[in-house]
């Protein structure tokens, strides 16, 4: 059974940096796509970044390019989201997600929608004060 456990969220000030972690277990993830989504109060869950475990390609939402970096530690089966220059609008619950079929062959032009993902973590809250 696949389990995803996020950690690293908290209350930070604008301009700070933060690294979120997603520890994955219960499967061999070499063919998976791993992603981070976020959901602010009253808003839809939105794609932030993704990593294709099979070929190492990364994908980012336009709104976070240049400030967010997704990476992995294969030995630990852990995916990270490094966030720089945090802004109050980054305040949200951040979720880790996994797609067993990998990044390719999604229904759209990429795996940017929550329904494409099979597994979800419980989320970690990030609150950015101004």
Residue ranges of the chain whose pLDDT lies below 50: none
Strands 46-52 and 58-60: antiparallel
Q: For residue 108, what pLDDT is reported? A: 73
| Nearby residues of 30 by Cβ (< 8 Å), 6 or more positions away | 53, 54
Query: Residue 45 — φ and ψ, nearest 5°?
Result: -70, 130
| Nearby residues of 24 by Cβ (< 8 Å), 6 or more positions away | 2, 3, 4, 34, 77, 78, 79, 96, 98
Q: For residue 107, what pLDDT is reported? A: 82
Task: State CA 41 to chain mean position distance.
Answer: 18
Q: For residue 30, what pLDDT is reported? A: 87
Q: For residue 109, what pLDDT is reported? A: 77
């Amino acid at each position: 059974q696949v389990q995803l456990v996020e950690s690293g969220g908290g209350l930070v000030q604008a301009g700070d940096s933060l690294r979120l972690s997603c520890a994955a277990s219960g499967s061999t993830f070499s063919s998976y796509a791993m992603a981070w989504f976020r959901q602010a109060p009253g808003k839809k869950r939105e794609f932030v970044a993704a990593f294709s475990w099979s070929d190492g390609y990364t994908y980012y939402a336009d709104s976070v390019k240049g400030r967010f970096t997704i990476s992995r530690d294969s030995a630990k089966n852990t995916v990270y989201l490094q966030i720089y220059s945090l802004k109050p609008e980054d305040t949200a619950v951040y979720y880790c997600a996994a797609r067993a079929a990998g990044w390719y062959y999604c229904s759209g032009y990429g795996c940017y929608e929550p329904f494409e993902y099979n597994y979800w973590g419980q989320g970690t809250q990030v609150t950015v004060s101004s």
